[in-house]
């Protein structure tokens, strides 16, 4: 019997089940480790504790300390070690415990990980996945609620993706692990415990593609990660008022797959781009610019954005005012339709 691969997803088929995003990610790593003994998991407290969000729970028990490594509290060391392991033929999956902890490893990511393949004229591959729980909404202290994805989307040589639901978490993480390029995998931590059905027999979409999560005709909402749920809730509320919103989950932030967004805007004539990140020089500003370039004569209103703010992330008591919510999304929809 042939070994199961991502090209043959039904070879490990199991009945549909209801999973949280956290469990889907755990199941994805388990599947990848069963398929390929070169897949390793490493990070702070990922072994015996199973990670602070328990995403790696049980992996060290089942695969051993040689494949699930509890590392020192040193992000630069974690990523530097992963680069060396990847050059030697392994596929490390690193966990950055919280989004704001990634910055001590920034130099390793942008100066080494992103450059190695290009620097070696294609001779060296560095298939490293860096998992990053990101975004706010959990009432945490400083450095625990950042949205740094735009910083890495600017860097040539890196792939940047974000899941928003259990099915995408399950498939996208496995696809990222099998990718020969370094992938930053941003996980919406406040959505970890949201449940949905996962059918592992359904063919997954390619990793670096966007996906229409809800069809509509009035306004297009383009978003990703934790804001997908917010936009879906906004669309449900808008439907009660007779406004039919289309939701495009970007999923891949670098490279961007904007053809579904262009197609949607050419039908609706309106676009609102939604993200928790600060708005300046962000993924949302890139999407807005590209849509105005490609769909100018289809637009009935300016492209609008709903973001966090260009400030440090606030204390937990103030985060509800910082984060985009249903009301801010609907207010932008109203402004767009007013033109």
Q: How would DSSP label each residue in 7-48? A: TSGGGG----EEEEHHHHHHHHHHHHHHH-TTEEEEETT-SS
Rounded to an integer, what distance in angstroms lies between the CA atom of residue 138 and that of residue 144?
9
Strand runs (DSSP E) across the chain, as ranges? 17-20, 39-43, 68-70, 91-95, 129-134, 159-162, 183-188, 195-198, 211-214, 219-223, 245-249, 252-254, 271-274, 304-306
Distance CA 49, CA 74 (A): 17
Asked if 219 and 212 touch (Cβ cutoff 8 Å), the reply is no
Burial of 314-327, coded b for 16+ CB within 10 Å and e otherwise, reads: bebeebeebbbbbe
What's the CA gap between 141 and 41, in Å, rounded?
A: 26
Residue 287 CB-half CA count within 13 A: 38
**Residues counted in the chain:** 339
Sheet arrangement for strand 252-254: 68-70, 39-43, 91-95, 129-134, 183-188, 159-162, 252-254
Q: Which of 117, 143, 144, 154 is catalytic?
A: 144
144 is catalytic: yes
Positive or negative, the Cα torsion across 52, 54, 55, 60?
positive
- Catalytic positions are 144
């Amino acid at each position: 019997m042939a070994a199961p691969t991502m090209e043959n997803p039904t070879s490990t088929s199991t009945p549909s089940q209801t999973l949280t995003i956290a469990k889907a990610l755990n199941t994805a790593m388990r599947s990848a480790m069963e398929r390929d003994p070169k897949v390793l998991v490493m990070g702070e407290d990922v072994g015996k504790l199973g990670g602070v969000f328990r995403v790696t729970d049980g992996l060290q028990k089942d695969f051993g300390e040689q494949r699930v490594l509890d590392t020192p509290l040193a992000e630069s060391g974690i990523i530097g070690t992963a680069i060396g392991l990847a050059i030697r033929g392994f596929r490390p999956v690193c966990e950055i415990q919280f989004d704001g902890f990634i910055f001590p490893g920034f130099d390793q990511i942008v100066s080494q990980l992103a450059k190695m393949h290009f620097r070696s004229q294609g001779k060296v591959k560095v298939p490293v996945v860096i998992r990053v729980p990101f975004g706010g909404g959990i009432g945490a202290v400083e450095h625990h609620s950042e949205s740094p994805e735009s910083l890495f989307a600017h860097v040539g040589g890196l792939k940047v993706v974000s899941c928003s639901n259990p099915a995408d978490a399950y498939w996208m993480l496995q696809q990222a692990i099998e990718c020969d390029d370094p992938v930053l995998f941003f996980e919406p931590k406040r959505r970890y415990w949201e449940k949905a059905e996962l059918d592992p027999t359904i063919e997954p979409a390619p990793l670096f593609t966007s996906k229409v999560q809800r069809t509509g005709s009035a306004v297009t909402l383009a978003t990703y990660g934790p804001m997908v749920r917010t936009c879906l809730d906004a669309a449900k509320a808008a439907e009660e008022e007779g406004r039919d919103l289309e939701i495009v989950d970007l999923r891949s932030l670098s490279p961007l797959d904007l053809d579904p967004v262009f197609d949607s805007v050419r039908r609706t004539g309106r676009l609102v781009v939604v993200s928790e990140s600060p708005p300046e020089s962000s993924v949302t500003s890139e999407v807005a610019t590209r849509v105005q370039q490609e769909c100018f004569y289809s637009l009935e209103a300016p492209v609008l954005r709903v973001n966090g703010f260009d400030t440090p992330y606030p204390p937990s008591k103030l985060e509800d005012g910082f984060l985009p919510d249903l009301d801010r999304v609907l207010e932008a929809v109203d402004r767009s339709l007013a033109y």
